[in-house]
Chains A and B, each alone.
Chain A
Amino acid sequence: MSRAALLVLADGRFPAGGHAHSGGAEAAVKAGRITGAASLEDFCRGRLHTAGLVAAALAAAAALGADPAGLDAAADARTPSPALRAAARRLGRQLLRAARATWPSPGLDAVARQFPKGAHQPVVLGLAARAAGLGPGDAAHCAAYESVSGPATATVRLLSLDPFDATGVLARLAPELDRVADSAVEAARRVADEGTDALPAASAPLLEVMAEAHAAWPVRLFAS
């Protein structure tokens, strides 16, 4: 494996559409739940241990070679909000395009054929990691990191938050992020024997509810 490939995949500038999504931060800012660095950290911690953990486990399982269709169905079952399912598929499609151009592989082409309108983003992330020669731990770390880096950068734009404070939030979450990635990989390794029920199903109901409301806003900066 190449450590540099992990940097390419995890780079916030990797052109896979993430810049247009806030990971629920826009709705939380408007509701007054994120008002500064401290509440951003609380929001991100909650997202990391729920949506982030699930995404990391899906990505790790895909990187280990589990069936993408099964994982995509498992992601559906773990995402009650139709708006979030649609956003995840849209982002999965965008990531697949970027990954196919970056690490051409028959495996990614097959997924593009199987899911012309996109599979859930974490599943594609795991497949992209695999195509890049990376392992399940790398995929899990990418997914877990994205689950908090998206809201953090969105909040910089939404609140004019000091970007150094937002980056400090991410740095303080790093040890927890490592533990989330580790437990995600542990669960993903059980998928081969136990099926996708072995994957975590942690949920953040407020994220799901707010995503539905946000999708109906006539004026918004972010797509989700």
Chain B
Amino acid sequence: MHLDHTHPGPAAVSADARRPDGSRRALRIGLGGPVGSGKTATVAALCRALRDELSLAVVTNDIYTREDAEFLLREAVLPPERITAVETGACPHTAIRDDISANLEAVEDLEDAVGPLDLILVESGGDNLTATFSKGLVDAQVFVIDVAGGDDIPRKGGPGVTTADLLVVNKTDLAPYVGSDLARMAADAKAQRAELPVVLQSLRDERGVADVAAWVRGRLAAWTA
């Protein structure tokens, strides 16, 4: 096979690890989970934690507004040209799983416009417990739930809780106020996920997003190895 890197070929089709010019594309990590579980806040915290050491960008998938993108812009976690919103036509899971074309174009356009990038975070619109990202769109996915959504969610399982590369149980600071049993959530998650990692976090604590950021660094190290 003849690989000619001097002339850019047509745009990539899907998950190809190389861009048309032959360079390695950015690692893509998806963040999904129910409405209000803290996906956007986690993305914002990750941007703050990683922006000085990595070149990164964010794609948001809002369901009917641009609020998530606008929150990230308002918080100035990244320069505006590094944040893109995808419209999902009332079906957030379709845009990250069944028909990923709009999101693929968003990540490729970001790399073309502000690249080279190390990392692109793709945030899903708030959805239900079955929402997962296509492997054609992301290299790894984080599922974010929170203690206030009910401490039985890890036990109920479902594709997000069971198969995500990282499960984040968010808002642990609220556990005493909503009667959630953190130990039980952790044990149930462990039972559902075997060896797959789980992080319990509160973005209001000093530790904040540190554990998730460390996991992202690990994935990035594996991607660029």
User: What residues on A are CB-neighbors of B104 within 8 Å?
Assistant: 97
Q: Mark A82-107, 1 if CB is under 8 A from B, else 0.
A: 00000000100111011011000000
Partner of B13, one of A16, A95, A97, A223: A97
Partner of A113, one of B9, B89, B101, B105: B9
| Docked-complex contact B66 and A15, CB < 8 angstroms | no
Which single residue of chain A is at the shortest CB-CB distance from B101? A94
The distance from the CB of B154 to the nearest CB of chain A, in whole angstroms, is 31
B98 at the interface (CB under 8 A from A): yes
B91 at the interface (CB under 8 A from A): yes
B127 at the interface (CB under 8 A from A): no
Q: Mark A153-188, 1 if CB is under 8 A from B, else 0.
A: 010010000000000000000000000000000000
| Docked-complex contact A13 and B95, CB < 8 angstroms | no
The distance from the CB of B181 to the nearest CB of chain A, in whole angstroms, is 38
Cα distance A109–B9 in the bound complex, in angstroms: 8
Mostly, the A contact residues are helix
Which single residue of chain B is at the shortest CB-CB distance from A113? B10
User: What residues on B are CB-neighbors of A110 within 8 Å?
Assistant: 10
The answer to whether A15 and B101 touch (CB under 8 A), given A223-B87, A223-B89, is yes
A21 at the interface (CB under 8 A from B): yes
Q: Mark A106-136, 1 if CB is under 8 A from B, else 0.
A: 0001101100100000000000000000000
The distance from the CB of B87 to the nearest CB of chain A, in whole angstroms, is 4
B90 at the interface (CB under 8 A from A): yes
A22 at the interface (CB under 8 A from B): yes
Which single residue of chain B is at the shortest CB-CB distance from A15? B99
Partner of A221, one of B9, B11, B64, B94: B64
User: What residues on B are CB-neighbors of A109 within 8 Å?
Assistant: 9-10
Cα distance A222–B87 in the bound complex, in angstroms: 7
User: What residues on B are CB-neighbors of A223 within 8 Å?
Assistant: 87, 89
The distance from the CB of B107 to the nearest CB of chain A, in whole angstroms, is 12
User: What residues on B are CB-neighbors of A16 within 8 Å?
Assistant: 99, 101
Cα distance A110–B11 in the bound complex, in angstroms: 10
A218 at the interface (CB under 8 A from B): yes
| Docked-complex contact A19 and B94, CB < 8 angstroms | yes
The interface on chain B, measured as residues whose beta carbon lies within 8 A of the other chain's beta carbons, has a size of 23
Cα distance A208–B116 in the bound complex, in angstroms: 38
Q: Mark B113-141, 1 if CB is under 8 A from A, else 0.
A: 00000000000000000000000000000
Partner of A100, one of B13, B89, B95, B105: B13
| Docked-complex contact B90 and A218, CB < 8 angstroms | no
The distance from the CB of A152 to the nearest CB of chain B, in whole angstroms, is 14
User: What residues on B are CB-neighbors of A19 within 8 Å?
Assistant: 89, 91, 94-95, 98-99
A20 at the interface (CB under 8 A from B): yes
The distance from the CB of A18 to the nearest CB of chain B, in whole angstroms, is 8
| Docked-complex contact B88 and A20, CB < 8 angstroms | yes
Quick one: which of B1-43 are within 8 Å of A by CB? Answer: 9-11, 13-14
B164 at the interface (CB under 8 A from A): no
B63 at the interface (CB under 8 A from A): yes
The distance from the CB of B146 to the nearest CB of chain A, in whole angstroms, is 25
| Docked-complex contact A219 and B64, CB < 8 angstroms | yes
The answer to whether A17 and B101 touch (CB under 8 A), given A219-B64, A223-B87, is yes
* B interface, CB within 8 angstroms of A: 9-11, 13-14, 63-66, 87-91, 94-95, 98-102, 104-105
* 8 other A-B residue contacts (CB within 8 Å) besides A100-B10, A100-B13, A219-B64: A19-B98, A97-B13, A97-B104, A109-B9, A109-B10, A116-B10, A220-B87, A221-B89
* A interface, CB within 8 angstroms of B: 13, 15-22, 90, 93-95, 97-98, 100-101, 109-110, 112-113, 116, 154, 157, 218-223
A-B contact pairs, 8 of them (CB 8 A): A19-B94, A112-B11, A116-B11, A154-B89, A218-B66, A221-B63, A221-B90, A222-B89
